[in-house]
Amino acid sequence: MAVLEVDDVSVTFGGLAALIGVDVVAEAGAVTGLIGPNGAGKTTLFNVICGLQRAKRGHVVLDGRDVTGARTFNRARRGLARTFQRLEVFGSLTTRENLLVAAEMQRNGRDPHAVAQEILSEVGLTEYADVHVDSIPTGLARLVELGRALATDPKVLLLDEPSSGLDEAETDAFGELLLRLAERGLAVLLVEHDVELVMRVCSQIYVLDFGEIIASGSPDEIRRSAAVQTAYLGSPLSANGSGR
């Protein structure tokens, strides 16, 4: 079931098109990948989805309801949560307090402290529970952001380059965690530069280039797509590889 639908979204920055008619669908119970070169517009799309950036055209539909005009916090209350590429942790609070802030905003009647404790062990941060977040390594701080997003009990989870800063073992464990979350019925939209990770965990992948979706499909289809190769490596025609 599609929990998140981005429908024909366009964004311009001072005349420059950042997103052009983008359609993306995220299904519940699956990890959907969004890849593309630097500056392709991935983070802009996330900002549009969560309401930090106004779209010039198009709609965002969350759980069957059009939220295009809704404010950021109202979208969050409807079950949208995200992490940020540039960390947005609450550095002067401890890991536990970061999770508590998120859990306390929910009105689902669950005890915030219990939620926080549960998530601490789920994302593997128990050790760092009472450490101030601005003194833990970046990779772990990204997990704090993930945990914080989970503490809001979301239906849709947007992850913006969550694995950067993690080493290989941590990345593997992170991939497992993503699959577990999807199994639980969450719709995960993943922006990631670690294409290996994307290929492993995603069932559907969108490729964004120059603000446009140039390809979408299963990991195998994406691997074979000529358009994707061009986007990432440049025009195949000029690939003679010799010096000048």
Binding footprint of another protein on the chain (CB under 8 A): 14-16, 37-39, 50-52, 71-73, 76-77, 80-82, 84, 86-93, 97-98, 100-102, 104-106, 112, 132, 134-135, 137-138, 148-149, 152, 161, 164-165, 193-197, 199, 210, 223, 228-230, 232-236, 238-244
In terms of phi and psi (left: phi > 0; alpha: psi -120 to 50; beta: otherwise), the region of 39 is left
Distance of closest approach, residue 30 Cβ to another protein, in angstroms: 20
Of 217, 176, 175, nearest in space to 198 by CA? 175
Distance of closest approach, residue 8 Cβ to another protein, in angstroms: 21
| Residue 18 CB-half CA count within 13 A | 19
Q: How far apart are CA 197 and CA 205, in angstroms?
A: 12
Nearer to another protein, 4 or 51 (CB): 51
The radius of gyration computed from the CA coordinates of the chain, to the nearest angstrom, equals: 18
Distance of closest approach, residue 10 Cβ to another protein, in angstroms: 16
Nearer to another protein, 141 or 183 (CB): 141
**Phi and psi angles of residue 198, each rounded to the nearest 5 degrees, phi first:** -60, -45
Nearer to another protein, 183 or 221 (CB): 221
Distance of closest approach, residue 235 Cβ to another protein, in angstroms: 5
Nearer to another protein, 9 or 51 (CB): 51
Distance of closest approach, residue 142 Cβ to another protein, in angstroms: 12
Helix (H) or strand (E) holding 6: strand 2-13
Of 173, 111, 114, 104, nearest in space to 142 by CA? 173
Distance of closest approach, residue 75 Cβ to another protein, in angstroms: 8
DSSP 3-state assignment of 88?
Answer: coil
* CB of 34 closer than 8 Å to CB of 45: yes
> If you search the block for the tokens 């970061």, which residue do you land on?
98
* CB of 10 closer than 8 Å to CB of 19: yes
Nearer to another protein, 183 or 223 (CB): 223
Nearer to another protein, 136 or 183 (CB): 136
Give the dihedral sign, CA 52/55/56/61: negative
* CB of 49 closer than 8 Å to CB of 241: no
Nearer to another protein, 149 or 182 (CB): 149
Distance of closest approach, residue 61 Cβ to another protein, in angstroms: 18
